[in-house]
Amino acid sequence: MVLRPLGKTGLEIAPLVLGGNVFGWTIDERTSFDLLDGFVDAGLNAIDTADVYSAWAPGNKGGESETIIGNWLRANPAKRDKVLIFTKVGSDLGGGRKGLSERWIVQAVEDSLRRLQTDRIDLYQSHRPDSSIPYEETLGAYDRLLKAGNIRAIGASNLNASQLGESLKVARDKGLPRYETLQPEYNLYDRSSFDCALRDLVIREGLGVITYYSLACGFLSGKYRSKADLSKSKRGGSSAKYLNPRGEGILKALDEVAARNDAKAAEVALAWLIARQGVTAPIASATNRQQLESLVKATRLTLSAEDIGALDQVSA
């Protein structure tokens, strides 16, 4: 598996990142372990999670995904050096535990390290903007953690071009570490928020980009083609907004490209992202071995210029 540099972090990742949002939510620990083992065995190496995963699920309080990953690392100590662990801070865990203040970041990283049962986080990301805290304070907190060796690199998620640009300026002006990666929502359907000044900025600044909702909540897999299909999974309701003429057109194009390449629609959608300028690797999750095998196949699928052009046009 050919590794790609993740911006200027010094980290190198395979062309697909495993999403850990499903661990402790739609799949249990035993299944999570099996998928993590299969993921590493396939030559892939980056796992993305967050401290808040999966606080939204009934009976959960957050930290479930990190805890499962930590238990897996404890059971497989030799695999720690084979994987890169990405997690995030800032989302609301309740009881005032949220945001990007120095106070909370310093506490939250210790909580994440404990749950992950590791001595370092390879990529620590601001989960969402926090307008109540100056960038200087947030980046200063990360500077402290970088120097202590708790984290190896920093990134941000959900920033727009203006917010990311301002954060980079503060880092330059104050001599602080800058965000070296961005995690935006981006896929064949949801393109407008990234394919603009934001994409231009990350390319110009040399940031690594790992996309989330890479399959549009499963819609681009082709399993949700009518309202009746939305009940097929716990996440089906999130795909309702894609059931429109534009979404249908994208699925039709995916089906055609998939047929030409003896592939599945999801594999084509991910291969399009992997080939996209400005994207380092998409994040995608799996809930069974068959889905994981499909993710691996996507990393080995090379689309023709004709295929890419067709998908570009229908999703523009």
Of the residues 53, 124, 135, 142, only one is catalytic, namely 53
Q: Which residue has the tokens 């990190």?
A: 66
Residue 201 belongs to some domain of the structure: no
Domain extent for 126: 11-183
| Number of domains present in the structure of the chain | 1
> Can 186 be counted among the known catalytic residues?
no
Q: Each residue of 246-256: pLDDT tens digit?
A: 999 999 999 99
DSSP per-residue codes, 93-118: -STT--SS-HHHHHHHHHHHHHHHTS
The CATH number of the domain holding residue 101 is 3.20.20.100
Residue 66 belongs to some domain of the structure: yes
- Provide the pLDDT for residue 233: 75
- Provide the pLDDT for residue 121: 98
Distance CA 181, CA 187 (A): 17
Q: Which residue has the tokens 């959608």?
A: 269
Residue 22 belongs to some domain of the structure: yes
Distance CA 109, CA 61 (A): 17
Residue 92 belongs to some domain of the structure: yes
Residue 241 belongs to some domain of the structure: no
Residue 146 belongs to some domain of the structure: yes
Residue 297 belongs to some domain of the structure: no
- Provide the pLDDT for residue 93: 97
Positions of the chain with pLDDT under 50: none
Residue 287 belongs to some domain of the structure: no
Per-position b or e across 173-210, b if 16+ CB within 10 A of its CB: eeebbbbbbbbbebbbbbbeebeeebbebbeebebbbb
Q: Which residue has the tokens 């598996």?
A: 1
